Amino acid sequence: MQAELQSLKSEVRDGMMIDWDVPIPMEDGVVLRADLFRPTDGRPCPAILSYGAFGKGLAFQEGNKSAWDRMVAAFPEVTRGSSCKYQVWEVADPEKWVPDGYACLRIDARGSGRSPGFLDPWSAQETRDIYASIEWAAAQGWCDGKVGMNGISYFAMNQWTVAQHRPPHLAAICVWEGAADWYREVTRHGGIYSQFLDNLFPRAFHRVQYGLGERGLRSRVTGELVSGPPTLDEDELKRNRRDIGQLVLEHCLVDEVSRARTPDFSKITTPLLSAAN
């Protein structure tokens, strides 16, 4: 068990020091896994943190190939100055940020990728995990104590939810296309049931759920299993994740569930840049 709590390996690649599968312990004993990209000079630097359930080891070009192809065709400048091998869905490309003196910390959400636990995006537990991850990162020797967050959509929404709790070392957030009202903007548009999450969970989250093991995908960069070494059966995987369709159907009006997943903007004091589509 102790061997599992170590980083997979550290190496210098493409002008960056990369630490794969860095362990981030949570208070309840669950150990999240993160990939850390940072400058090679060894000096403390600010961190850009992202936390999500899309699988940190799944390349953008493989996980969302059609979106990648459309993007580079319409905006070829996106690929300039980068090998693009470390690009993943909706988060910062470390080859663009590390040369400017930032560290990029990508965390697999609890229950996704190489992080064990119950998969429950946008839950209160997830917000607690992000808060703990921010404070953990700020205390590391490679970090100068300042942690920012950057990301699109899901990665933007969880910035709102954690910022309301004011983590002491959260220096700034960059929120791209992040819905804010769980009931009105995510699950029930105009009060009408939205099937977006019914589609998103199996298409994007279940395919990289922790425990798929040998039945899952492999990282094109490391060759490691995207969803961790254990290979669980389908019944166990179902027990380890939120049934999002049932949750939304059972809560048809604004109640404690939607309120718990909707940030209180009056409590957000973190400097921010927000962009809507």
Q: Are the CB atoms for 186 and 259 separated by under 8 Å? A: no
What does the alpha-carbon distance between residue 126 and residue 129 come to, in Å, rounded to a whole number? 5
Distance CA 150, CA 50 (A): 6
Residues 6+ apart with CB under 8 A from 7: 19, 20, 21, 22, 23
Chain segment 11-62, per-residue pLDDT in tens? 999 999 999 999 999 999 999 999 999 999 999 999 999 999 999 999 999 9
Nearest to 153 by CA among 36, 257, 73, 64: 64
Tens-place pLDDT, residues 80-114: 999 999 999 999 999 999 999 999 999 999 999 99
Residue 159 corresponds to which tokens in the numbers above? 């910035």
Fold of 2-275: Rossmann fold (3.40.50)
Mean pLDDT of the residues in the chain: 95
Q: What is the domain partition of the chain in residue ranges?
A: 2-275
**DSSP letter for each residue of 242-257:** --HHHHHHH--SS-HH
Confidence band, pLDDT 50/70/90 cuts, at residue 201: very high
CA distances from 42 to 35, 81, 86, 115 (A): 17, 23, 21, 27
